[in-house]
Amino acid sequence: MNITQQNSILIVDDTPNNIRILFNILHEVGFQVSVVKSGELALEKVTFIKPDLILLDVMMPGIDGFETCHHLKSEESTKDIPVIFMTALAEVENKVKGLKLGAVDYITKPIQVEEVLARVNVHLALRNTQIQLINEIHDRRQAEIELQQTLQELQQTQTQLVQSEKMSSLGQLVAGVAHEINNPVNFIYGNLTYADEYIQDLLKLVQVYQQHYSNPVSEVQTVIAGIELDFLTADLPKLIASMKVGAERIREIVLSLRVFSRLDEAEMKAVDIHECIDSTVMILGHRLKSQRDREEIQVIREYGNLPLVECYPGQLNQVFMNIIGNAIDALEISKDNTEIYPTIHIRTKTEGDRVIICIADNGSGMTKEVKQKIFDPFFTTKPVGIGTGMGLAISYQIVTEKHRGSLHCVSQPGQGTEFAIVIPVKQG
């Protein structure tokens, strides 16, 4: 490092002869030299020009060198600038006092060229080394921060890819199951209509026989008594009707599975948000049922009159899955509170050109500290090995980045939790 080509020096002295000598010495070897003739001017100068070193005379009118040094060392912006005092050889007390105030060295008067250059070069070299070390430490810390951020982003991306792949695989699995169930169910449901007609015809025939042959032979009477013909005639239509209801329920489940299986759809399209919610609730239905230590979780739906909403249906289903799943988790944690009846409340409405979906539970709620971190990647309050802490982070990204919407959370300890999803009706 060439010190003389890179450093600036401020001379503070009220003696013209000293100024001339110092200026010539330093300027000839290439230093950038500035000169002021008082402590007041020196303090003003350093507010807009930061020299690499200050040569400060002790005895000056106005504020002397000691007070000037005290001011320099008490300011954050100038405390690290090395100060070399200039004092007479016999003024030992002044040298000690200056060093105590923060000066790094002193130059004796009358001024000697070799001494000035030696002391200036030593302290500028030390300062440059110090600055270089500070910069290296800063660069190393910055590199560590960037590396940590990169690793975190990589881990987040990896988790998102795994999560997306899991949801896509789930969608494909659900679609396959729905398809396999749909065919035999449609066969059963379609034939139930004809079976009902055939049974009605046979029952009508039996009634005609009973009218014309009221006294059948004993063998026929034995069979009639054995099969309880009157009960069979009354109950068989009810049985067929129950089978129709069951088949219709299976068809509804299949429809919900097919709606939910749109998880792997990449295109944006206009969809019925209520269908998406209902399919998600159906998929999570097994978790809503009563358990040995918890009553059944009731899902109350208050649906507004929503238009079709332009969205990525698979990704939005993933948001509903994460939030409703978390609501169930919260109610699982709160199951020891026998005073509450576990409930998830889902409300939808429109406000201008946006739709709002609110999903609330009456669980134990969250503290302010937890609520501030819930959208942070990898943050979770669940036990180790359960969950990745990415569900809400991914949901937030889907709602805000993919759908230009917002995701809000309102929660207090003991007051339950509510998430509000707000997205535009049209994305264009």
pLDDT digit string (tens) for 310-325?
Answer: 988 888 888 898 899 8
Q: For 103-122, give the DSSP string.
A: --EEEEESP-HHHHHHHHHH
Please tell me whether the peptide bond between 110 and the residue prior to it is cis, using omega within 30 degrees of 0: yes
Tens digit of pLDDT for each residue in 78-131? 888 899 988 875 566 777 788 888 888 888 888 888 888 888 888 888 888 888
pLDDT at 89: 53
Higher per-residue confidence, 240 vs 390: 240
1 — pLDDT class (breaks 50, 70, 90): very low
Tens digit of pLDDT for each residue in 316-358? 888 898 899 889 888 887 766 656 788 999 999 999 999 999 9
Higher per-residue confidence, 33 vs 185: 33
Report the range of poorest mean pLDDT among 176-185, 219-228, 300-309, 375-384.
375-384
pLDDT at 164: 60
pLDDT at 2 over 50: no
3-state helix, strand, coil in the chain (%, to 5): 55, 15, 25
Q: Which is it for the CA torsion 165, 170, 173, 176, positive or negative? A: negative
Q: How far apart, in Å, do the first and last CA atoms of the chain sit?
A: 59
When pLDDT is averaged across residues 255-282 and rounded to a whole number, the result is 76
Model confidence, pTM: 0.49
pLDDT at 264: 46
